[in-house]
Amino acid sequence: MYQTTIKKAVELVGIGLHKGSPVKLRLEPLESNSGIVFYRSDVDVSIPLKPENVVDTRMATVIGKDGYVISTIEHLLSAVYAYGIDNLRVVVSADEVPVMDGSSASYCMLLDEAGIAQQDVAKKIMRITKEIEVVEGEKYVKLSPSPNLTYNFTIKFPHPVIQKQEYVLAFTKENYKNEIARARTFGFLHEVQYLRSKGLALGGSLENAIVLDEKKILNPEGLRFTNEFVRHKILDAIGDMSLIGMNFVGNYEAMAGSHDLNHKLTLELLKNPENYEVVELVGEKTKELEKAYA
């Protein structure tokens, strides 16, 4: 199995969640062994996708370099990871990726339009070999060895619509598109009002997020899934874990996980080479690994 990029450049324009301004996004092919590289066309700065370039994880995953940042990258990265794309240039015209409808469905459609191109260098994946866990109070995220790739996420919110939700995704591209990609981000009305008072979330609306007051959902169309909230948390986690730099095989488990905990988990994983094995997908012995994420 070989590394992949996209067949042709594609682009779209959407609203940035925090500034509320239009942002142009363009995806371009990159040669083998390039990885995912973000580029801000407004300031001529490239930011490779690496854990050490993460500069903020409070409300989104934000990468930065030389004082310039690109925010809310996780939804796009979630789709890129699900499509198994190894090498890609992501060009944005501002300091955030457009939020689209709050899910990754638009990015899946964009990647379908671009098409996937196989390259001439063997694909590498990471096999988790030891259990790694990050715990903060009752919250935790962890990775453990498994012949497959699964995401097992649990959330608890003291809200009548959410309460406790758990979902397990047996990861494949098709399962991702059918079960995860359409799940939207969510927030609470009082939080939105506070953020706007601080000049943030100016682009947030019922068009790109599930918004809840103290008792109910405010979106007139309702939910896309009864457990859309926990499904979106898996969408986020897939995007956050893509900062490892390659697809991995193992079990991801979270209780009330967050962008911050996911980032700490990637750092903890990469800190010790005994935690993982990097495998080139060549020869018969790797067939089972190929199945784990194909």
| pLDDT category of residue 21 using cuts at 50, 70 and 90 | confident
pLDDT number for residue 255: 98
pLDDT, tens digit (0-9, with 9 covering 90-100), for 252-272? 999 999 999 999 999 999 999
pLDDT, tens digit (0-9, with 9 covering 90-100), for 55-108? 999 889 999 999 999 999 999 999 999 999 999 999 999 999 999 999 999 999
Instruction: Tell me the pTM.
Output: 0.95
pLDDT, tens digit (0-9, with 9 covering 90-100), for 173-195? 999 999 999 999 998 888 877 77
Distant-in-sequence, close-in-space partners of 274: CB < 8 Å, separation ≥ 6: 129, 130
Q: Which domains does the chain have, with CATH numbers?
A: 2-122 (3.30.230.20), 125-293 (3.30.1700.10)
pLDDT above 90 coverage of the chain, percent: 84
Annotated catalytic residues are 259
Looking at per-residue confidence, does 1 or 203 come out higher? Answer: 1
- The DSSP H or E segment spanning 157 is strand 149-157
Please provide the distance, in angstroms rounded to a whole number, between the alpha carbons at the two ends of the chain: 10
Tell how strand 276-280 and strand 124-128 pair up. antiparallel
Separation between Cα atoms, residue 126 and residue 151, nearest integer Å: 16
**Bridge partners, 62 (sequence order):** 56
| pLDDT category of residue 294 using cuts at 50, 70 and 90 | low
How long, in residues, is the chain?
294
Report the mean per-residue pLDDT for the chain.
Answer: 93
Separation between Cα atoms, residue 28 and residue 7, nearest integer Å: 9
